[in-house]
Amino acid sequence: MVRELLSPYNMNIDNMVSQVIYADECTIDSKKSVHIVYSINKQLVSLVVMPVTRSLNDIRQIGDRGYQGVIVSVENGTVIIASKDKTAVSDFIENLRVHSQLFKAQMEVL
């Protein structure tokens, strides 16, 4: 299911499938997007992938309503990674750095 949801964005993070607790399509600003929730060290981390909304290589820290994370522009979309636990976000990003070619260059600055 995760592979199918991410395929339009040419993303593959299969190594983390065992940590998925929710995965489905959603709509953000009238655009079809993907929302996946992972359990990382007993903390929930949301990964939202949507069509490109920012210039490539744009990275921004975010924080709102107790959540913190990053917005990252990648080749085929915009990725949001957020959690109420900052360490879970860092652990998730490190996993992406190690296992996903797509995210390596973009995540190096974090």
pLDDT digits (tens, 9 = 90+) for 63-103: 888 999 988 887 778 889 999 999 999 888 888 776 665 55
- Summarised one tens digit per residue, pLDDT across range 10-47 is 777 777 778 899 999 999 888 899 999 999 889 999 99
Length, in residues, of the chain: 110
Task: State how far the Cα of 58 lies from the Cα of 56, in Å rounded to an integer.
Answer: 5
Q: Is the pTM of this model over 0.85?
A: no
Q: What are the residue ranges spanned by the domains of the chain?
A: 2-107
According to CATH, the topology of domain 2-107 is Phosphorylase Kinase; domain 1 (3.30.200)
